[in-house]
Structure 1
Amino acid sequence: MKTNIKSLILLSTFLFSSAGCKKLLDVNTDPNNALDVPVEVLLPSAETGLTFAVGNTLTIDGGIWSQYWTQNPTSSQYKTLDQYAPAQGDFGNVWLNIEVDALENFQKVIDKGNATNKKQYVAIAMLLKAYAFQLSTDLWGDVPFSEALQGDATTQILNPKYDSQSDIYNGLVKLVDDAIKLINPDEPAPGNDDLIYQGDMEKWLRFANTLKLRIGLRLAKKDAARAATIVKSLAGADFIQPGEPALQNFNSTGGQQNPLYGAIAGTVLNTTQNLVASSTAVDFFNVNNDPRLFAFYDPINTGNVVGIPQGSFNAPPTTTVSPPSAATSGNAKDANSALAPVKLMTDYEASFLQAEAVVRGWLSGDAEELYNAGITNSFDAYHVDGASDYMTQPSVAFPAGGSSEEKIKAIITQKWAAMCGNQTIEAWSEWRRTGYPSFFVISKGSIIGAGRWPGIFLYPSSELTRNPNAPKANHFVYDKVWWAN
């Protein structure tokens, strides 16, 4: 079985990198003649579908819109992102990655796992289904949920209705709670066919609690009472611990490389370095004497990390700009980028989430201690020394005597710093939720009007024309999702 799993993953990732990633991880492509695929093959296929979406398109979009990266002035691939003017078609593949390659296959794991009494497979698939649905609704707003993935080969609902974000968030909580009820470390569980935690169900339980905490806090400004209820239900729960991030590793073998590197170093882009350092992030790290600067970016020949203003590709102050480091997978010229993992949730995110919940009075604990743990976990993840010295600086130290809002601002800002190049789409969602960091600048390349920011993904034209239940008209990229600040 291990050989079959490895072959499937190799084939899947190769097809993704060479053929534009359309439904290539869907192992049941013909619903009238479905293959009898075991859960041991379905699970890694679905996990790879999810990490491909997060690690490729969403890392690029989040990297630019979270102002870690900007378009290299000597190339042109991502100019429309810096202009805040992507086309509908730019979102078609990632929609399919999430809705088909990930969600449809997670549902198949759930259906087959229930039929064969493999409950731990079901629990994992339910958690990642919740993760993928939250990702989808956070990006597009209203999406199919209650009728999505329903039916079988003969009674499938081909045109599911679109649910409101508010209703979807209720469903996410239920999905996570139902999965938690199934988790039992004493029952037979996956092994290496689980590419994220290798079947360690105690880690999956902590992932579940952390995901539920993320779900709850996303609603903090939109519906504080509802958010508090979700978060308070986690009293006494354990969350992702230091050194156990939820991630998928990759290697240097063709087809098994980090998906961002596989794209930017592949035959289409041919190692053209489109992504370079944004001065928004570089200035932050420099002002705060943050040694992670050299973990997230590579220096130029002077030994310095150099960024350019966001979207300044038409009139840059310099064309000698630092690229992202291989540790972020964004250096097209460095083959070590192939080895960068795709991170779904991390120990530092878990600490910052708990710190915010404590500040809001929804969990017990020491917010300052959790804040410091988040910073320390980020330093440790990139093997950077100096976390203690960094945290003693007045500009970084937790504002213990400040207001709740000042504390939350510090927490989210440091979360953004920790997510540089590795959880970029989550950083963008947190900025949309809270308005932090507060020092973002409008891209110099923006063509969508003064004072406007990208706030939502466009529905792909293929979905609007295919599904009669889809919205009749698209929203604008500067519109906001339901929970946004």
Structure 2
Amino acid sequence: MKIDHIKQGISKMAFGLGTAAVLLLSSCDKGFEEMNRNPNAFTEPVIGNLFSAAIIRTAGVGDGNTLYPNSKQAGCFVQYFASLNPWQWTGDKYLYKPDYNNGLWNTAYRTELKEPVQILELTADDPEQSNLHNIARIWRVFILHRVTDMYGDIPYFEAGLGYINGTYKPKYDNQEAVYADMLKELEESAAALDPAKPSYGAADFLYGGDVEQWRVFANSLILRLGMRMTKVDPAAAESWVKKAIAAGVMQSNADIARLEHTSGSGTNWNWNSRQLQTAEGVPPSAQGKGFSKLNKTFIDYLKSTNDPRLPFYATLWQGNIDITKLPAESLPEKQKGLPGGYDYTSIQDLIPGWTDNMQQEYSEINIHTIAHLEAPTIFQSYAEVEYLLAEAALRGWGPGTAQEHYEAGVRAAFQAQELYPNAMDANQALVAANGYLADNPYTPGSFDSEMKQIHTQFWASLFMNNIEVYANWRRTGYPNLIPTDYPGNETGGKIQRRLMYPDTEISLNTENYNAAIQHQGPDLFMTRIWWDKE
């Protein structure tokens, strides 16, 4: 992806967002209007630039955005991260902090949906723009499926219409209806894509306008959402999973839905990575004492399986060692995860004699590989698809064997490292993956034992796609995680099942908020959403 394309998308998208304001001037004096018209200005939205901006916004731009729900919330719930700071990384302790709890909701409704809903409006009645319209439908589903998976019942059918027709108090839709429509939208839009018609071309930072790859992505999302329903509606889950497989899902890492980044300008940094990096200007005495560390649960598992991905995921504070040597210097035997659920005081009860300097002994995310500024944003990976196909085979819903798909998933996850800076290339990764599978062979057995193997590996492989891992953990129960019980937590010492609605919904959309909690249950962390039934 070229950085100048992104800059164009950001600079030009302002016109599209201002269209509504232009319409308000229609009653002005025509002569005044002509006198004040800029002959060099855009006279209609540039749809390609709107779509470019939509992808960038969804990946995250600037402080906050998807960092809060993806890392400080979901990443802590599934025990990737731990922190001694009780005011940040509150997901480690099941504490409520409005900015973190509200981050995904506010970003999706206030930012991510702006361009897709405008594109849908502009292209709705133009058959020649059907590909642009249907790809925008797919992207709208991607945005909103993360929101409903984190909160439950949400504004869906009226979502984003405030930008089009002034619907500023959208009603909430129950998650069952949301899922039914998302799956319908994906199926219909995938079927409607036409290679003979125009697409987004270079403005499409995921697939370069390749409609066949968008079709594969849509089918792979159907597989993801269909499998999500196994606890609550297994018949529907089976039907949608079979449809997805028959229509064609991802077949290799070339199909990964990803946004590439560059480090030359903040315009195109991976902002999730940026927020995990040590702030500029931090003195050497404070380095290695960042608020986030990798969780003992995660590090211990990687070490117990002798996982070659450990130095790709984790590093230790290395002083002034040349950063290009960091992955090699992060020796696996020295890696050590921080226990979750402790603060600067209570950690002394677990580790007598604790001092602040001891934080440097604990593993951090590797900012030179998986959390590099140029690390891609992965929206859906081929490895994820293979693990879901393994489960489908286990259930008798798809071809092949669970073991075949499991092993393909492991190889795909290892080989995806070639997309990141300072990591193994595909050939090195394949050798490492085959060695890992030899040391940790898939063992056929009971349904539960095979589900445990598949979805524990799902967790080990999809680090940094934390929102999806959290959803998959709630559905499957794997890996087996032991919750923490930090004093004053909101869940009674259990891993929370959802996020709460923002306070602004209570005050500004009161009637619809009340209807939602009457249907779904109390607006609490432990209230289970529709597909997450016990």
- Give the TM-score category using the shorter length: 0.7 to 0.9
What is the match of residue 432 of structure 1?
A: 474
Shift of 1:100: 3.0
What is the match of residue 70 of structure 2?
A: 59
Structure 2 vs 1, CA of residues 209 and 3 (structure 1 numbering), >3 Å: closer, same or farther?
A: closer
Letter in 1 for 2:410: I
Q: Which moved more, 1:84-93 or 1:200-209?
A: 84-93
Q: 2:456 aligned with 1:456, yes or no?
A: no
Structure 2 vs 1, CA of residues 290 and 151 (structure 1 numbering), >3 Å: closer, same or farther?
A: closer
Q: 2:525 aligned with 1:477, yes or no?
A: yes
Taking the aligned partners of 2:149 and 2:480, their CA distance within structure 1 comes to: 20
What is the match of residue 448 of structure 2?
A: 405
Q: List runs of 5+ in structure 1 lacking aligned partners.
A: 13-23, 331-336
Taking the aligned partners of 2:153 and 2:15, their CA distance within structure 1 comes to: 24
Q: Deviations over 1:73-114 (max 9, x none)?
A: 3x5652422221122343334312212322232121222233
Q: Which moved more, 1:88-97 or 1:454-463?
A: 88-97
Q: Deviations over 1:4-29 (max 9, x none)?
A: 843255569xxxxxxxxxxx989526
Counterpart contact for 1:309–1:444, Cα < 8 Å: no
Q: Which has the larger radius of gyration?
A: 2
Taking the aligned partners of 1:234 and 1:85, their CA distance within structure 2 comes to: 38
Taking the aligned partners of 1:51 and 1:468, their CA distance within structure 2 comes to: 30
Q: 2:295 aligned with 1:278, yes or no?
A: yes
Letter in 2 for 1:389: G
1:254-403 alignment to 2 at 5 Å? 254-264=266-276, 273-301=290-318, 303=331, 304-314=334-344, 315=347, 317=351, 318-319=358-359, 320-326=361-367, 330=371, 337-382=372-417, 383=424, 384=429, 385-393=431-439, 396-400=440-444, 402-403=445-446
Give the secondary structure class of the aligned counterpart of 2:108: helix
Letter in 1 for 2:75: G
Taking the aligned partners of 1:76 and 1:376, their CA distance within structure 2 comes to: 38
Letter in 2 for 1:412: H
Counterpart contact for 1:9–1:256, Cα < 8 Å: no
Question: RMSD in angstroms over aligned alpha carbons?
Answer: 2.8
Greater RCO (CA < 8 Å, at least 6 residues apart): 1
What is the match of residue 16 of structure 1?
A: none
Give the secondary structure class of the aligned counterpart of 2:443: coil
The percent of aligned pairs where both chains have the same amino acid is 25
More helix by share: 2
Shift of 1:448: 3.1
Shift of 1:36: 3.1
Q: 2:132 aligned with 1:141, yes or no?
A: no
Q: 2:93 aligned with 1:50, yes or no?
A: no
Taking the aligned partners of 2:20 and 2:466, their CA distance within structure 1 comes to: 35
Counterpart contact for 1:147–1:157, Cα < 8 Å: yes
Q: Deviations over 1:309-333 (max 9, x none)?
A: 1123330644221110126654xxx
Taking the aligned partners of 1:482 and 1:57, their CA distance within structure 2 comes to: 23
What is the match of residue 250 of structure 1?
A: 261
Give the secondary structure class of the aligned counterpart of 1:247: strand
Counterpart contact for 2:276–2:367, Cα < 8 Å: no
Letter in 1 for 2:7: S
Counterpart contact for 1:351–1:374, Cα < 8 Å: yes
Shift of 1:247: 1.0
Give the secondary structure class of the aligned counterpart of 2:293: strand
Give the secondary structure class of the aligned counterpart of 2:315: coil
Give the secondary structure class of the aligned counterpart of 1:343: strand
Shift of 1:44: 0.9
Shift of 1:70: 1.0
Counterpart contact for 1:378–1:418, Cα < 8 Å: yes
Taking the aligned partners of 1:80 and 1:235, their CA distance within structure 2 comes to: 39
What is the match of residue 156 of structure 1?
A: 166
Structure 2 vs 1, CA of residues 192 and 157 (structure 1 numbering), >3 Å: closer, same or farther?
A: same
Aligned residues: 460
Taking the aligned partners of 1:353 and 1:45, their CA distance within structure 2 comes to: 30
Taking the aligned partners of 1:265 and 1:326, their CA distance within structure 2 comes to: 6
Counterpart contact for 1:5–1:40, Cα < 8 Å: no
Q: List runs of 5+ in structure 2 lacking aligned partners.
A: 24-42, 319-329, 352-357, 418-423
Q: 2:210 aligned with 1:180, yes or no?
A: no
Give the secondary structure class of the aligned counterpart of 1:339: coil
Give the secondary structure class of the aligned counterpart of 1:436: coil
Taking the aligned partners of 2:252 and 2:384, their CA distance within structure 1 comes to: 10
Structure 2 vs 1, CA of residues 464 and 33 (structure 1 numbering), >3 Å: closer, same or farther?
A: farther
